[in-house]
Chain A
Amino acid sequence: MTDFSHLSIHETITCLKRKDFSVSELIDFHVSSMENGRELNAFITETADIAREKAIDSDNRYLKGEENLLDGIPIGIKDMFCTKGIKTTASSKMLENFIPPYESTVTQNLWNDGAILLGKLNNDEFAMGSSNETSFYGEVKNPWKNSKGNFTVPGGSSGGSAASVAAGIGLASLGTDTGGSIRQPASFTGTVGLKPTYGRCSRWGIIAFASSLDQAGPITRNVKDSALILNSICSHDPKDSTSSYKEIPDFVNATDRSIKGMKIGIPKEYEADGISEDISSFIEKGKEWLIDSGAEIVDISLPHIKYALPCYYIIAPAEASSNLARYDGVKYTHRADAENIIEMYEETRAQGFGNEVKRRIMIGTYVLSSGYYDAYYLKAQKVRSMISQDFKEAFSKVDAIYGPSTPSTAFEIGDKNKDPLEMYLNDAFTVPVNLAGLPAVSVPVGLDKGNLPIGMQLIGNSFDEESILSIASCIEKSAKFDLTPEKWWING
């Protein structure tokens, strides 16, 4: 079988148009990659049969010259997106047998553009986690082993989405990002992860975690593919009142734009202690690349950024405790046997939720409870306002902000899942962006001493994905990161 895994989405579409190979051949290749990659545990549900059927329709469209934007492109979808008639679990026992009777808007947008579903991807349970270790379906392995030869986590919560793309299974995936769940795993796996502005994409049909923070976005192998997927998924949706009416620009076009004269801010708080030396060195290298491309570096400060994490761990659990109240043993698949209804609720939720989800529901319930609401929840929303203000001031001086995506590279499986706080600290650089609703992208730039990918983050002003895509594209060209992990997961 021909190996198509090195092709980008753009190259693949060019080949399909030239009839170098058919969609059916392409899909067969990715289905077999998916089957050979089961050791990674990236997929919860494989949809090979549906993919093969859709490939025939897509081939017909190419024959007639009626193909769409993403026709024939195999894409994996995080198991947080409802897919009509296809099991959607949120990686929770609670939704073990949930078959959505409807399709999420963003996935429907992909299918309307001709993309083909390859399967549903593993994630941290209800998207709560930073290592994909909280999934009811087991941990996902990062395709990148460390230099000791040990398994590492792919990050989370979109661990399966990042691992599959890094392993060359599918050409792109969708993830969700509430506090870094697209960018942190992208950074851990050497892939490009984009979180659009809050409101750029519809949240309808995405299993809700923290509704004021959740946003869908792509994980891809390069910046241009990321822009292409973004163009497909974003739309105003009458079913989500927080989806924007703003005009949708040509994001792909933005990736070819010069960054000459652009002002790029480096927050001094992002050069703080606690970042590995290898990662810090890319702050310096990045400055050189950007200056060489004609951009101007501006020192900025985001003084309240250090409060973003504790602020997030009030707001996100508060919204989660409310959103997850719907899992009561009545409407969705899992129910515990009990004599009375209260006991039924309590037992269903005790059995259906894992430890991290219980922990966050408990925190959320506590901070919203009578007597604590002002001290915690209201306080956090005020701090959120101060953090947003920090960004507003920064964006009055700069076009984008550059810094690390994560304080460290991928850690070993089992290394950080004993202490919840230690796990939370992983999201120090990604969380502030969600609180302010801004767009951001993580781009791979190199490997650290432990042979693991490093990702750097570009943060943009509200609804200015174009600037960060232009700059990310420039960083990508300068860094020339084109390494792929050794395919240890393929037997023999």
Chain B
Amino acid sequence: MTIDNKLVERIAKLSRISLTETEVNNLTSELGNIMDWIEQLSELDTEGINPVFSSFGEEDIKYRADEVNDGGYRDEVISNAPKSEDGFFLVPKVVD
């Protein structure tokens, strides 16, 4: 799979990052090089290998009781928001 400007623009859209034309050009070549280098993984036969998503085994995890034991920090949670009103996050209009 070759990385071209169109693909980079699509990934940028999915990533919610707007890019300038120069950035698109640079990323096309950089991501192209990186993905070519990553391609060496295809040399490895991974048939029948179980994927490992974490080195922390599921058997090591203990589940806590499903009960509320924290919370009630509305003002602290909101305190870093660039815009807020009456204890709510404020965003640009989303429904017409």
Contact = CB atoms under 8 A, between A and B. Distances in A.
Interface of A: 97-99, 101-102, 198-199, 212, 238, 241-242, 244-245, 304, 307, 310-311, 313-314, 321, 325, 328-335, 338-347, 349-350, 353, 358-359, 361-363, 365-366, 369, 372, 376, 378-386, 388, 420-421, 435-438, 462
Interface of B: 1, 7-8, 11-12, 14-19, 23, 27, 30-31, 33-35, 37-42, 44, 46, 49-56, 60-62, 64, 73, 76-77, 79-83, 89, 91-94
A333 B80 contact: yes
Contacts, number: 162
A242 B16 CA distance: 30
A359 B92 CA distance: 27
A325 B17 CA distance: 10
B54 A366 contact: no
Contacts of A245: 60, 62
Given A199-B60, A386-B49, A362 B12 contact: yes
B49 to A, nearest CB: 4
Given A331-B81, A358-B23, 14 more contacts: A101-B76, A212-B53, A307-B41, A307-B44, A310-B40, A313-B34, A331-B80, A341-B93, A342-B16, A344-B92, A346-B18, A380-B41, A382-B49, A386-B46
A435 B12 CA distance: 27
Task: Give me the 3 closest cross-chain CB pairs, A-B, nearest first.
Answer: A437-B55, A381-B51, A101-B76
A310 B52 CA distance: 16
Contacts of B92: 338-341, 344
A241 B58 CA distance: 10
A435 B31 CA distance: 22
A238 to B, nearest CB: 6
A270 B39 CA distance: 22
A314 B38 contact: yes
Contact of B27 (A350, A353, A359, A435): A359
Contacts of B80: 97-99, 101, 331-333
B63 to A, nearest CB: 8
A388 B56 CA distance: 12
B51 A385 contact: yes
Contacts of A333: 80, 82
B15 A365 contact: yes
28 contacts: A101-B73, A101-B79, A101-B80, A102-B76, A198-B55, A212-B56, A245-B62, A307-B40, A310-B40, A311-B41, A313-B38, A328-B16, A331-B89, A341-B93, A346-B18, A347-B18, A349-B17, A350-B17, A350-B18, A358-B15, A359-B30, A359-B34, A362-B11, A365-B11, A382-B52, A386-B44, A420-B30, A421-B33
